[in-house]
Structure 1
């Protein structure tokens, strides 16, 4: 074939150069010239490389500190790729994540490999999936799991007493994720994962979830690789294999043992409720993964990360720790809270709730843009720029939560008191809290996470001191999809009070 081409004179070096030049012009040069000369977004600032490649954002992602880069970026820039823009102006955020859902999720989410309640880009599909299981996630439903949370919290405190006795240095983020996993296992399947007891990832699920989330974060920026990756998954199996296998093993074990509403357990677990709904033909098997899978795949990371951040900020700010302990001790002395604290009591503890809000503000679990597609007809955002149809826009919680326009000139400081003060108008503090996303796609498991954090944090604070391994730079963070804290502490019994009073 090649001989024929050469013999016919269809090939020569000049022709090859011309063809290559034509390909470059069509695929890169012409779009670049349009962008800098004619595009309505040509004046949107951003690093020069972002005008013609996603590799700039991919590079900061590989460095592991993209969440911090976004904060610095928003001091000047908003363009992060040829067709990706980051917005943090409150009016823009409200428009993009409006509950009407006009801005669909972008192809970024296809990097997860499989469609579920989180990754599906079809709003009607998402609406149907969410509607079917939403009743399982109300805070009223969550309070029904307090006994399960209390059992796991008691185990957490028991383990921490052991760490204090043997003077064992621990990775607090790892242990907090073990706690979150065990709670999720307990309320979802009536069986914890044994991670706290064994101090490890007993099922190998944590490693696979981290791999899945990391892959989505990277492939989301290189959509041309998503199809080959999807094919690879079909052939060799996905990173979520162990998680799905575990969920289905629990599903069939409980379903075969005693189906539907007759199934016995200590209380109505998620799985029992879903089986009852399935028996009544209200849901099908995909909702099993939507509920049980989302609990484990996303809920454990969000909770573990937030607890780790809360403990870091409290124990590295002694005055804030003292304020929280004062609230706990005073209420305990007055008989207004029990041991353990109930959710009903905790939700009325002003400083505790301010601590949780400030932690979610300072360290939102997700560290990247939640990308959306500009709908037909395009939109003009508050910046004054017109964004044509098909443009990818989105908000990253980190620069939004560190915005001085929203949270004041001290937005970079950990100060729970800001949530107890009156704010100047307009007050965007609550509406711009983006730790669980925004609009109709707000994390369905938000209440699970808040229940756990609200209940376990007072128990740790009232019983233990944490001493950081490194005093000067006690922690670091790594970001791909989630922003994982890293630090180690020695656990010590609380020194500044009679521990027996709170034991």
Structure 2
């Protein structure tokens, strides 16, 4: 009887509406109810963590921020609006996304024995959607194998003339800047810093610079087109399934390819061409990074992807460090003369300071560290996933398995309990004044710029060598 009365009631509601329309309406109601329930469950599982209200319900807040070009500041502000500036914290920035400025938590996540894994955020970092590279490789065993094949090349052990090649490109950089000085013309230093780092990494990666400094131009419009693409790339880190859609046969034919003459795709073509020369019966053997990778077992496809990653990731981050540090040096009336005085007292016969000497200059090292701290060159979420099935507990708060935790670089390096009440100021002296446990705490936090543990950046030695040399040469000339 109850069933019959229900059907009668539904007939009264539907009336003369066609059955197909009625069914569609019921399906729509079911979908809405399911969506509401799903959203509530997603919201509820991370309800203990505060953040922007919209972020708890939808990915839209996160998409808007990463696509807007100032996500590093938005993350910091959202964290500050939710929590206190003086203590380590976790904020919610998505339905399943958390953000932290706690160095201890980050080291816990990244340590070599961690059960955390790379999240699908890294799928958006596949520069060539058809091929993987060491950055987004989420299979731990494959990642370890690839890393072991590449470590010798990145450390420079099997790269012939690594330091002289960096020196050569520094001299080309100074020659280009000198030309503008002689002609009393303004120069876009930030852009030329990118020219320099792109030529360095291409010279080390496959034996010759791409020619940015020599031509004083954005070769193949690589920088311009990459900057235009970047917001879309960052959005795919939040919606990673877009990568699979875009790499499908339907869309792939519509996208740029390595056959293009300009931009990132042209670089893909160069990577394929250079790598192809190192394989086959008439293969070219060279003692550069690519040669080292191949000698340790990288396949042709793997080598293509890795030198592409090197060029993209290894140039922009170092260029950011150089231009922002130089900006703070030349606009600081205390730092500028102090650094000049230390360099003027340093003696060496080479045209560019040897790396070993640069590493021993205390004020130079303080300037380098402070430059990396005041404007960290890597500011993406780089989210890791909480291990199943047990989840994790941090400082009394339970974090469910499958939750993604990213890091707020800007927040880490503005923590007043770590850096002092002047954390927002560029003051290299803080590194010389720090002693004992405080110095260890600060250096441990700064190390996170290059990641940590099993995911530490392989390019760290090359980047630091460039920084040890380039600032000295500005004053040396």
Query: If the length of structure 1 is used for normalisation, what is the TM-score?
Result: 0.81
Choose the corresponding residue for 2:118, options 105, 109, 120.
105
**Cα distance in 1 for residues equivalent to 2:161 and 2:67:** 42
Alignment of 1:182-331 (within 5 A): 182-210=199-227, 213-231=230-248, 234-237=252-255, 240-253=264-277, 259=283, 263=285, 268-275=287-294, 277=295, 282-331=297-346
Which is further off, 223-232 or 387-396? 223-232
Q: Which has the higher helix share?
A: 2
SS at match of 1:358: helix
Taking structure 1 as reference, are residues 226 and 151 closer, same or farther at Cα in structure 2, changes over 3 Å only? closer
Q: Which has the higher contact order (CA 8 A, sep 6+)?
A: 1
Answer yes or no: is the 8 Å Cα contact 1:71–1:402 preserved in 2: no
Residue segments in structure 1 that go unaligned for 5+ positions in a row: 1-5, 464-503
**Structure 2 vs 1, CA of residues 339 and 213 (structure 1 numbering), >3 Å: closer, same or farther?**
same
Q: Deviations over 1:392-445 (max 9, x none)?
A: 112132211222232222211111111112257464212222222232112211
Q: Distance in 2 between matches of 1:257 and 1:457?
A: 44
Local SS of the residue matching 1:118: coil
1:391 maps to 403
Matched, 1:64 2:73: no
**Bigger Cα displacement from structure 2, 438-447 vs 17-26:** 17-26
- Residue 314 of structure 1: how far off its partner (Å): 0.8
Contact persistence 1:92–1:381 (CA under 8 A): no
Please show how residues 39-188 of structure 1 align to structure 2 within 5 Å: 39=45, 41-77=46-82, 78-111=91-124, 112=126, 113=129, 114-138=131-155, 144-188=161-205
Q: Is the 8 A contact 1:208 1:242 kept in 2?
A: no
Note if contact 1:105-1:371 (Cα within 8 Å) is conserved in structure 2: yes
The Cα of 1:236 is off from its aligned counterpart by 3.3
Find out whether 1:32 has 2:39 as its counterpart. yes
Cα-to-partner distance string for 1:145-176 (whole Å, 9 max, x where unaligned): 11111111111111111111112222212100
- Paired position in structure 2 for 1:429: 442
Q: CA deviation at 1:446?
A: 1.4
Out of 16, 20, 25, the position equivalent to 1:11 is 20
The answer to whether 1:375 aligns with 2:383 is no
TM-score, normalised via structure 2 length: 0.85
Trace 1:325-344 onto structure 2 (pairs within 5 A). 325-331=340-346, 335=347, 338-344=350-356
Is the alpha carbon distance of 1:438 and 1:420 closer, same or farther for their aligned partners in structure 2, counting shifts above 3 Å?
same
Please report the RMSD computed on the Cα atoms of aligned residues, expressed in angstroms.
Answer: 2.6
- Describe the superposition over 1:267-315 as per-residue Cα deviations: whole angstroms up to 9, x where unpaired: x32233345x16xxx3322442354223212101111111111111111
Report the alpha carbon displacement of residue 81 of structure 1 after superposing the two structures with TM: 0.3
Q: C-alpha separation between the residues in 2 aligned to 1:388 and 1:306?
A: 36
Where 1:432 maps in the other structure, the secondary structure is: helix
